[in-house]
Structure 1
Amino acid sequence: MSKLFSFQGKVFAGDRLANGTLSRPVWAGNVPAMSLKLSTDSTNKTESFSGKRLQYGRLQKGTTAQLDITFDEWLPKNIALAIWATQVTLAADTVTAESLEADLVAGDYVKLDGQFISSLVLTDSAGTPATLVEGTNYRTESVNAGLIELLDVTSLTQPFKAAYATEAADAYTMFTAAPPERYILLDGVNTETNESVIVTLYRCKFDPVSDLGFINDDYGNFQLSGSVLYDELNAADAELGGFGRIVQKSAS
């Protein structure tokens, strides 16, 4: 019987509980590639009695496991993994009298502190403040980025003051979380035989993404690499092992 294989399936990532089990797994979305690379750190011994310097021994000094996963989907948990981020909720807000930098001239762009803005009003700093006119004194380049361009600032007193509203948003602050460790579960299927296969890796610690393309001609994705760490607790159970396991149904 053929035992060719081509795996697909859903990849879940969650936290590892103190008892070694998976907590609150979250589906990572479409994962087009996932690979496990096992290696050993070894020292070879060459004999010196035959005159041919033949290999006489091989000392195994350590084993390592590397996990590579490619993510297709821009999901909160995936982003946090990629850039070691803390997810911060930015509440909707109303901003009044935000001072812009002084000495602005026509053609200068200004980035407001907020984003996803609406109801923007710009005034100057005269004793009786004048209101800048959109289309004459400034134009809005991007309400999403909160970016404006000055057009005509003649006879206006700087610094200008901005008042506006912002919408709620989520932010991901880079390198503000500890190196992420995740329990990985692959709920897979061998598409050649239609047999189920389950892969569990108990402690996966990921490096930050090495290449995150923000502008692409095609769909974007990113790859994360990390180490599969030894789990002393699960290693005490012969049915689990210290790193992970592959499970499939027994042959009928």
Structure 2
Amino acid sequence: MPTAPLAVSPNPNNVMLGRGKIFGDRLQLVNGVLQRTGEFDLGNCTALELTPKADVKEKYESMDPASSLYARAVTRQTHSLKITGDEYSLFNLANALMGNQGTITTTGASVTGETLTTAPLAGAYYPTKFRNISAVTLHDGVSTKVLGTDYAVDAASGRIQILPGGSILPADTLTVDYTYASYTLNTVSGGTAASVDMYIRFKGNPVKGPQFEAEFWHVQFTPNGNLGFIADDFGNWTLEGMCIADPINHPTEPLYHLLQVA
């Protein structure tokens, strides 16, 4: 790779109109040590903002009415990172919801006599124990109910709706026979992670300005903002986090570093 030109001012080539890709690597605690598990592309992100902040103590002299600033010292500094993304991937959702990814796997079979409800209400939906159902038969203990007249089936989710105007009464105990197909579904369990700790890599590809890459060794994120699943515009998610020092693995640059690559 050629040596990148030294970015010094004044130079209009240094003004930044940024673009780029962001990769996240969820850190897991193994035997008391946070370990990386693999980088995932976060997809289209509309913002990556790095905010340094310093807490300052100031001492003012009391020897004359002007009370001029006598001494000043930085007592601590923090560096925060904010990412706004558009893509609702499983990895992104798990991070935005402080959750974890998983799967549900079910082997298909047949069910006979499953109790659906003991107090059916017209218009209400009642779930079966499994999804992807077919060959549904609904009973009230006396008669077999008629599909399309007494009830409707949401086969994909595994639900039965009691249709208004049918023969099903509120006092009926309904049982159901059905067959369900095998399925494996990906899941995100929201709110199951005590914290979201990540390694972040940024690969800049700006419209204008010097090209940087960045590595943030350990950022502890918390979700911020709404995650829209019904909206009049494209949804997005926002993560805000604090950079945590890693002096053991990176003693000379414990928080992060920026690399000018072009």
TM-score range normalised by the length of the shorter chain: 0.7 to 0.9
Q: CA deviation at 1:91?
A: 1.2
Partner deviation per Cα, 1:106-164 (whole Å, 9 max, x = no partner): 3222233434x2315133252xx743321011013x43433332122448951322524
SS at 1:48 equivalent: coil
Q: Does residue 177 in structure 1 map to residue 190 in structure 2?
A: no
2:22 corresponds in structure 1 to: 11
1:69 corresponds in structure 2 to: 83
Q: What is the TM-score normalised by the length of structure 2?
A: 0.82
2:3 corresponds in structure 1 to: none
Residues 77-226 of structure 1: pairs in structure 2 closer than 5 A: 77-94=91-108, 96=111, 97-115=113-131, 117-124=132-139, 126=141, 130-140=143-153, 142-151=154-163, 152-154=166-168, 157-166=172-181, 167-193=183-209, 195-226=210-241
SS at 1:100 equivalent: strand
Q: What is the TM-score normalised by the length of structure 1?
A: 0.85
**Any conservation in 1 of the 2:119–2:172 contact (CA below 8 Å)?**
no
Q: CA deviation at 1:6?
A: 1.3
Cα RMSD (Å): 2.6
TM-aligned CA distance change 1:5 to 1:21, over 3 Å: farther
- Structure 2: state its 5+ residue gaps: 1-10
- In 2, the alpha carbon distance for the partners of 1:202 and 1:157 equals 61
- In 2, the alpha carbon distance for the partners of 1:15 and 1:61 equals 31
**Any conservation in 1 of the 2:118–2:172 contact (CA below 8 Å)?**
no
- Structure 1: state its 5+ residue gaps: none
Same amino acid, percent of matched pairs: 25
Residues 15-34 of structure 1: pairs in structure 2 closer than 5 A: 15=26, 24-34=38-48
1:43 is aligned, of 57, 60, 64, to 57
- In 1, the alpha carbon distance for the partners of 2:147 and 2:89 equals 37
1:246 corresponds in structure 2 to: 258
- In 1, the alpha carbon distance for the partners of 2:227 and 2:21 equals 22
TM-aligned CA distance change 1:154 to 1:183, over 3 Å: closer
